[in-house]
Structure 1
Amino acid sequence: MDIAKYIDHTLLKSSATKKEIKNLCEEAIKYKFFSVCVNSFFVPYAKQLLKDSDVKVCATIGFPLGAVRTETKVFETKMAIDQGAEEIDMVLQVGMLKSNDFEMVYEDIKAVKACMGNVPLKVIFEISELSDFQIMKATQLSIKAKADFIKTSTGFSASGATIEAVTLMKKTAEGKAKVKASGGIRDLETALQFIEAGANRIGTSSGVAIVEANNAQH
């Protein structure tokens, strides 16, 4: 298994410096990760650093809370894509999902997807805040809005990905959307467990350690 191709090499902390983003991109090139995942501000810089590589640039939208206006998410998405983002990870409106305002949640995702052309969209759920029913509902709404991936977590909440949530998301999606596990995945054993559970992509800041551990076994 080429585990590097599962990994979105991630740096989303608010204090991330240009030097740290440069290091992230250099590691992504060296280890042949699928993408780097950065806050939308850093998209132009990451794109410049990765221009001679196959590594994609993934931008977060409405991050980390998802609690901005849909129009704001759409504007941020359009700008990120214009500046070179090749995938978008948007945060779902968690509060409206928990308010049972499913129409608003659907329209929020739909509006972002509609402005993206063929760029893949991942919708971040924040599973630590949701019941199993809400995870299933978020999956159904994301698929209805034509999202390409559903994603467990921002990494900024109480906890990250769980095997149980990934299994539930995969089952509910019925092959109509892929699953990204993110948050708290720091070693090879854990990453492999999530892939076994059905994750198509792994979001982690520990990609180097995971790939080096995998290489050491082969």
Structure 2
Amino acid sequence: MKRYNGYFDHTLLKADATEKEILQICEEAKKYEFYAICVNACYISFAKKQLIDSKVKIASVIGFPLGACGTETKVFETKWACSQGAEEIDMVIAVGALKDGRLDFVREDIRKVVETAKQSNAIVKVILETCLLNDTEIVIGCHLAEEAGAAFVKTSTGFSSGGATVHHVELMKKTVGSSMQIKASGGIRTLETMKKMIEAGADRIGASASVAILKENEEKDS
């Protein structure tokens, strides 16, 4: 049986998430040996206490879910999240600025978050929100993230009009090659969908259905 555990950022970002639910995803992440959990910043320190004796990393979101706050706000959020224990930062780009063609602004927005995260040895995943972009804009967004020093490009927040698609992951992989990694997220709820994303080039999967997907994989191999 192929082990998919290490692909997952086990995710809980809904507004009404409770401490009890955060505890549950931490326990699941330890049990199933997921790569990371991804939580809103207010839960980082709580999650860190639950994961202190595990290898599970903590990711948190910045400028989430719209990406429309000022760069200085994203920088402050990043610094604070890292101070709480975040090891990975998933930031949303300034989508409107990209669509406007204000590419220098978008690049600088990413670069300042990357530089702030690096001060705490954290990496940055850049959320493009691909459902709001055409193919040309996705390619440009990938190049800007690479130029700004980010480690990953990521498809989606999961809070907009659509999530990850095979086409978008393939396009992102074709654009960045081996120079960056790719995280597919948003709407990945089945084993078949996850496998398609990995085959298309995804290095990481963001999902709230991680446990259900692994159980489906175990059932198919039993």
2:82 maps to which residue? Answer: 81
Structure 1 residue 173 and structure 2 residue 168: aligned?
Answer: no
Give the structure 1 partner of residue 17 of structure 2. Answer: 16
Q: Which amino acid aligns with 1:30?
A: K
Instruction: Provide the C-alpha distance between the structure 1 equivalents of 2:191 and 2:112, rounded to a whole number of angstroms.
Output: 36
Q: Which residue of 2 aligns with 1:111?
A: 112
User: Which whole-Å CA distance do the structure 2 matches of 1:163 and 1:156 have between them?
Assistant: 18
Letter in 2 for 1:167: E
Deviation digits for residues 52-106 of structure 1 (CA, Å, limit 9, x no counterpart): 1111100101100011111111111011111110111000000100111000000
User: 5 Å matches for 1:154-173?
Assistant: 154-173=157-176
Alignment correspondent of 1:150: 153
The correspondence of residues 34-53 of structure 1 with structure 2, limited to 5 A, is: 34-53=35-54
Q: Residue 134 of structure 1 aligns to which amino acid in structure 2? A: E
The TM-score normalised by the length of structure 1 is 0.98
**CA distance in 1: counterparts of 2:210 and 2:177, whole angstroms:** 28
Structure 1 runs (4+) deviating above 3 angstroms are none
Per-residue deviation, 1:41: 1.2
1:191 equivalent to 2:194? Answer yes
Amino acid in structure 1 at the alignment position of 2:174: K
RMSD, aligned CA: 0.8
Alignment of 1:120-159 (within 5 A): 120-159=123-162
SS in 2 for 1:66: coil
What SS does the corresponding residue of 2:90 show, helix, strand or coil? Answer: strand
Q: Which runs of 5+ in 2 are unaligned?
A: none
The Cα shift of 1:32 comes to: 0.8
Cα distance in structure 2, aligned partners of 1:149 and 1:40: 19
Corresponding letter in the other structure for 2:56: V
Helix, strand or coil for the counterpart of 2:188?
A: coil
Distance 1:189 1:90 in 2: 27
2: distance between equivalents of 1:20 and 1:57? 15
Taking every aligned residue pair, what percent have the same amino acid on both sides?
Answer: 53
Given the two structures, how large is their TM-score scaled by the length of structure 2? 0.97
- Following the alignment from structure 2 to structure 1, what is the Cα–Cα distance between the partners of residues 46 and 29? 14
> Partners in 2 of 1:15 and 1:158 — Cα distance?
20
Q: Secondary structure at the match of 2:117?
A: coil
AA at the equivalent of 2:14: K
SS across alignment from 1:115? helix
Gaps of 5+ in 1: none
CA distance in 2, matches of 1:209, 1:38: 19
Partners of 2:219 and 2:31 in 1: CA distance: 16
What is the alpha-carbon distance in structure 2 between the residues aligned to residue 202 and residue 154 of structure 1? 12
1:114 and 1:56 map into 2 onto residues whose CA distance is 20
Q: Tell me the secondary structure at the aligned position of residue 183 of structure 2.
A: strand
